[in-house]
């Protein structure tokens, strides 16, 4: 029966296994891709049905240049676009190269920030670590605001450009704060004066301007990249599945450059040059993105996602006494053309979160706050069903936050020599996270997926949540290894009497290598899977918000790291010897890492539960149709309460 329905859909859609309403959307005597736009920006019509459309389509068929994108994509003037002229890997190449330079700029600041705060601004270990995680937390929370502006007001392209200008201004101010004498503290080693108010204001002002700008760039740039592929075209569906791996590869390259070259420049040449290079790199990245403007496909803003969700919740609450019809057809829904004209999908009613269906129960008066269409209700459900998964990502992101804080501070206590003349910067060990992640992603795609595909019959090898679960488990192993490594480091420090003096522990910094490598392998499963999961499972009109959710987990995780570190430091110092002191040789980081391991175990149990009850959206399975024809590949599905789970 399911195969018959799929065949019927393909027949209606001209071979494209998707919703049939896009196949018959022409009221002008000719089909304009799948879209007839009558929406407007600032009161100006974007695109009307005209003879130009019909002639363009006729010319397209005659020249063989391809047809129009069928997912509602338009150019900057709101006109439907040809797949052969815009989008695809040509457009994505500019986005991917942009990300290389932008990640170099961001990690050029973040990777070594804890050492600048302790060595130049003369802050203690706990204060410096918390200032880093508070800033990183802000960097990853502001994308919620950027996603709102993109989805509701400006669209992704313009939100990204305006935010890039803010981002670049913050980088310039930060570079000045480490370069100009009145804005930077004087160098000293003992009895150092604390930084002045002006110096702190300039430095942290630059940091938080960067955070604000990042809020508009981060949730939109990856979404812009994914938007370059038309899900209604089988080949482009396949390309979209691999886009996020290439996206992560670009992040790896930029991050690796920052953790190696830039960190070395900062430690051995100077902070002015070390911050000036990433500032220039960010400028280059914006120029590269602008160069790709003629090739981009764009999606129109669909209005505030928060307002739409609020209306559903309010309407359902106000009608909580009304019975919900057994037949979904009795619920309020708009005509197909209404969604088609806006480039949106219509979603059928489901039984999950059934209480919200009351928002679509017909009643009087009919206002946006008392009656909502079924599609709007289902979009709200999809976002709400992501929240438990989002909550289960907070602890894993707290563990990731240790890489650029306590892991780096550990490295400063060890022997940095590699040979007689070269010393490795402590923050450069973060490069091993990037390298191990890069190698792991390559092995995952080339071997792991193929092996698991034979066993599971899933085109992805394992589901996205299973991939994330493997990453969560590997993080627990990482923190366990870090705890045991710290026990060994402290033992050596005590045996050589440097636990009281805070001197260098006579053991190579590479004893920390296992925890960095394991964290990179964990990220290959968790980080890539998390980004792809929240993008795929978000409604089409809320993709930026879904991407922002994946980043929000980092923000809350970093703030949680600050809270835990401060709480543990205060509580343990009151009851005796503190766990986290400025002298790490006299601290008990092994206990703190063990605590994080225990939290990780409890979180893994919670993640396993919410993953088990989660059902994937139907579109995720449909996006795999093109791969089902490969030998030995099937997409087994389980339908639960109207939702489809890819097994």
- What is the pLDDT at residue 191? 73
pLDDT in tens, 31-66: 323 333 333 333 333 333 333 333 444 444 333 345
Question: Mean pLDDT over residues 500-516, rounded?
Answer: 89
- What is the pLDDT at residue 227? 80
Burial 305-333 (b: 16+ CB within 10 A, else e): bbebbebbbebbeebeeeebeeebeebbb
pLDDT in tens, 95-118: 888 999 999 999 999 988 998 998
Is it the case that residue 487 has pLDDT exceeding 70?
A: yes
- What is the pLDDT at residue 618? 62
The full DSSP string for 201-220 is HHHHHHHHHHHHHHHHHHHH
- What is the pLDDT at residue 44? 37
If one compares 187 and 437, the residue with the highest pLDDT of the two is 437
Residue 79 tokens read as 């006109």
Ranking 30-34, 119-123, 310-314, 379-383 by mean pLDDT, the lowest is 30-34
For residues 240 and 247, the answer to whether their CB atoms sit within 8 Å is: no
From 331, 383, 335, 328, select the one nearest 350 (Cα to Cα): 328
Is it the case that residue 595 has pLDDT exceeding 90?
A: yes
237: left (phi over 0), alpha (psi -120 to 50) or beta: alpha
Q: Cβ contacts of residue 461 below 8 Å, gap of 6+?
A: 444, 448, 449, 450, 451, 452, 453
CA 277 to chain centre: 25
Per-residue pLDDT band at 12 (split at 50, 70, 90)? very low
- What is the pLDDT at residue 635? 40
Is it the case that residue 209 has pLDDT exceeding 90?
A: yes
Beta strand segments in 290-360, E: none
Is it the case that residue 355 has pLDDT exceeding 50?
A: yes
Pairing of strands 40-41, 44-45: antiparallel
For residues 560 and 398, the answer to whether their CB atoms sit within 8 Å is: yes
Is it the case that residue 593 has pLDDT exceeding 80?
A: yes
- Tell me the three state secondary structure of residue 72: coil
pLDDT in tens, 261-296: 999 999 889 899 999 999 999 999 999 999 988 888
Question: What's the first-to-final CA gap in the chain, in angstroms?
Answer: 19
For residues 615 and 353, the answer to whether their CB atoms sit within 8 Å is: no
pLDDT in tens, 290-345: 998 888 888 877 777 888 899 999 999 999 888 888 888 888 888 887 777 665 67
Is it the case that residue 84 has pLDDT exceeding 80?
A: no
The Cβ of residue 575 has, within 10 Å, a number of other Cβ atoms equal to: 8
Give the separation between CA 505 and CA 525, rounded to whole angstroms: 34
- What is the pLDDT at residue 133? 92
User: What percentage of residues in the chain have a pLDDT greater than 90?
Assistant: 31
- What is the pLDDT at residue 226? 80
Measured CA to CA in angstroms, residue 572 lies from 531, 569, 578, 580, 587 at distances of 37, 6, 5, 8, 10
If one compares 645 and 83, the residue with the highest pLDDT of the two is 83
- What is the pLDDT at residue 43? 35
Residue 109 tokens read as 């600041």
């Amino acid at each position: 029966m399911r195969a018959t329905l799929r065949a019927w859909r393909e027949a209606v859609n001209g071979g494209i296994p998707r919703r049939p309403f896009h196949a018959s959307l022409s009221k002008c005597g000719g089909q304009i891709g799948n879209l007839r736009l009558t929406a407007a920006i600032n009161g100006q019509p974007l695109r009307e049905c005209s003879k130009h459309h019909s002639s363009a389509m006729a010319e397209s068929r005659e020249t063989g240049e391809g047809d129009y994108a069928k997912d509602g994509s338009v150019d900057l003037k709101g006109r439907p676009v040809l797949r052969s002229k815009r989008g695809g890997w040509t457009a994505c190449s500019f986005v991917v190269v942009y990300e290389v330079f932008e990640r170099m700029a961001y990690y050029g600041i973040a990777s070594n920030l804890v050492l600048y705060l302790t060595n130049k601004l003369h802050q203690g270990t706990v204060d410096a670590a918390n200032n880093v995680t508070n800033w990183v937390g802000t960097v990853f929370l502001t994308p919620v605001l950027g996603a709102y502006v993109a989805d509701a007001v400006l669209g992704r392209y313009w939100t990204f450009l305006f935010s890039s200008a803010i981002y670049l201004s913050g980088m310039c101010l930060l570079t000045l704060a480490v370069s100009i004498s009145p804005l930077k503290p004087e160098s000293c080693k003992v009895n150092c004066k604390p930084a002045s108010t002006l110096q702190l204001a300039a430095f942290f002002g630059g940091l938080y301007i960067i955070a604000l700008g990042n809020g508009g760039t981060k949730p939109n740039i990856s979404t812009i990249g994914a938007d370059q592929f038309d899900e209604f075209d089988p080949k482009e569906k396949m390309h979209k599945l691999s886009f996020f791996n290439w996206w992560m590869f670009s992040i790896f390259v930029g991050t690796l450059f920052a953790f190696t070259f830039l960190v070395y420049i900062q430690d051995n040449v100077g902070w002015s040059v070390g911050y000036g290079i990433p500032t220039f790199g960010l400028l280059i990245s914006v120029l590269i993105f602008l160069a790709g403007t003629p090739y981009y496909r764009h999606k129109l803003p669909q209005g505030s996602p928060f307002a739409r969700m609020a209306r559903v919740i309010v309407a359902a609450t106000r009608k909580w006494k009304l019975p919900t019809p057994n037949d979904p057809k009795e619920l309020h829904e708009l005509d197909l053309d209404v969604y088609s004209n806006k480039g949106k999908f219509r979603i059928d009613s489901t039984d999950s979160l059934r209480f919200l269906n009351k928002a679509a129960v017909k009643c009087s008066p009919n206002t946006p706050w008392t009656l909502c269409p079924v599609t709007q209700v289902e979009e709200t459900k999809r976002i709400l069903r992501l929240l438990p998964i989002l909550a289960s990502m907070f602890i894993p992101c707290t563990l990731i936050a240790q890489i650029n804080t306590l892991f780096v501070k550990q490295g400063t206590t060890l022997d940095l020599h590699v040979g007689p003349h070269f010393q490795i910067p402590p923050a450069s060990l973060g490069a091993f996270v990037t390298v191990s992640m890069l190698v792991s992603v390559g092995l995952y795609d080339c071997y792991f997926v193929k092996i698991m595909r034979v066993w599971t019959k899933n085109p992805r090898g394992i589901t996205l949540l299973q991939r994330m679960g493997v990453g969560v488990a590997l993080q627990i192993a990482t923190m366990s290894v870090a705890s045991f490594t710290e026990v060994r480091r402290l033992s050596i420090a005590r045996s050589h009497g440097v636990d009281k003096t805070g001197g260098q522990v006579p053991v190579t910094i590479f004893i920390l290598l296992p925890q960095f490598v394991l964290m990179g392998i964990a990220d290959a499963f968790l980080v890539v899977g998390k980004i792809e999961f929240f993008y795929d499972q978000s409604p089409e009109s809320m993709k930026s918000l879904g991407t922002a959710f994946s980043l929000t987990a980092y923000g809350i995780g970093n703030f949680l790291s600050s809270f835990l570190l401060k709480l543990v430091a205060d509580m343990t110092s009151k009851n005796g010897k503190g766990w986290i002191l400025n002298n790490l040789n006299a601290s008990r980081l092994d206990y703190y890492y063990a605590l994080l391991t225990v939290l990780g175990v409890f979180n893994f149990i919670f993640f396993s539960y919410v993953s088990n009850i989660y059902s994937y959206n139907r579109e995720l399975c449909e996006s795999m149709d093109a791969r089902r024809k490969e030998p030995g590949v099937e997409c087994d599905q389980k339908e639960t309460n109207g939702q489809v789970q890819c097994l």
